[in-house]
Amino acid sequence: MKDTDFAFGNLAPPSPESTQHIRDIPVHPVTGGCMGNVNCQLCRKEFGYCNELDAELNAPPNQENGEEQEMIPRSQHSNAGNGNRGQNKKGSGLDFLTIDMLSSEKEPIKILAARTQDDTFRPGNQLVAVKVQFKGKMLLWNLRPNNPNLDIVGDMFGDDETKWAGKSMLIFKEKDDFDNKEWMRVEADEKKK
């Protein structure tokens, strides 16, 4: 049925006959929750009980068996220079700056704004979200405390990220000879001083 179809009685309260199947669903003896089967809307395959799925959907994030799980286990100071691991967040605002956008040639990048905010991937932690202009595009670049670029930018422009707006630097990718990983690197733009 389309939302433009006239369906007389669709908003009427259900009749006792039409709700008989609801009364026949077993109730869990301990939790009192619904023990009805949940079926896929497309293929009609059964994939669990209503109360089990409800518990999974309402469980706190990053917790499994009552233990808190870390999303990105890393040391305090790692070589995690490429920020968000190259994942663009299409459809959720600005694209993120990724390692694939960079070359080994040093290119100018300008900070438009910066702020400290909660890290959605590591609850309880904070990061510095930096809005930058790079190659004519406005992008976001998240700098976590374990990212060496955060220390470099802080040394260049000061510890107050709200004062970084309008500052420029050079950005490039660097390849580690040992493991062939590529990392984002920044340095001062001597021409802009």
Read off the amino acid at residue 22: I
Measured between alpha carbons, how far is 167 from 169 in angstroms, rounded to an integer? 7
The yes-or-no verdict on residue 147 having pLDDT over 90 is: yes
Q: What's the mean pLDDT in 91-114?
A: 91
pLDDT of residue 163: 94
> Which one is predicted more confidently, 25 or 139?
139
Reported confidence tier of residue 80, pLDDT bands at 50, 70, 90: very low
How many C-beta atoms surround the C-beta of residue 82 within 10 A? Answer: 20
pLDDT, tens digit (0-9, with 9 covering 90-100), for 19-47: 555 555 555 555 555 656 666 666 666 65
Cα maximum dimension of the chain: 80
| H helix or E strand, kind and range, residue 154 | helix 148-157
pLDDT of residue 92: 62
Reduced to 3 states (helix: H, G, I; strand: E, B; else coil), residue 177 is: coil
Cα 45 to Cα 22, 24, 41, 48: the distances in Å are 19, 20, 8, 10
Measured between alpha carbons, how far is 102 from 184 in angstroms, rounded to an integer? 8
15, two tokens: 């009749």
Backbone dihedral angles phi then psi of residue 101, each to the nearest 5 degrees: -80, -15
- Against a cut of 0.85, is the pTM above it? no
Measured between alpha carbons, how far is 43 from 121 in angstroms, rounded to an integer? 33
Q: What's the mean pLDDT in 159-163?
A: 92
pLDDT, tens digit (0-9, with 9 covering 90-100), for 103-129: 999 999 999 999 999 998 888 999 999
pLDDT of residue 83: 44
Selection from 96, 102, 82 nearest residue 132 by Cα: 96
Q: What's the mean pLDDT in 139-145?
A: 94
Domains and CATH numbers, the chain: 22-64 (no CATH), 99-192 (2.40.50)
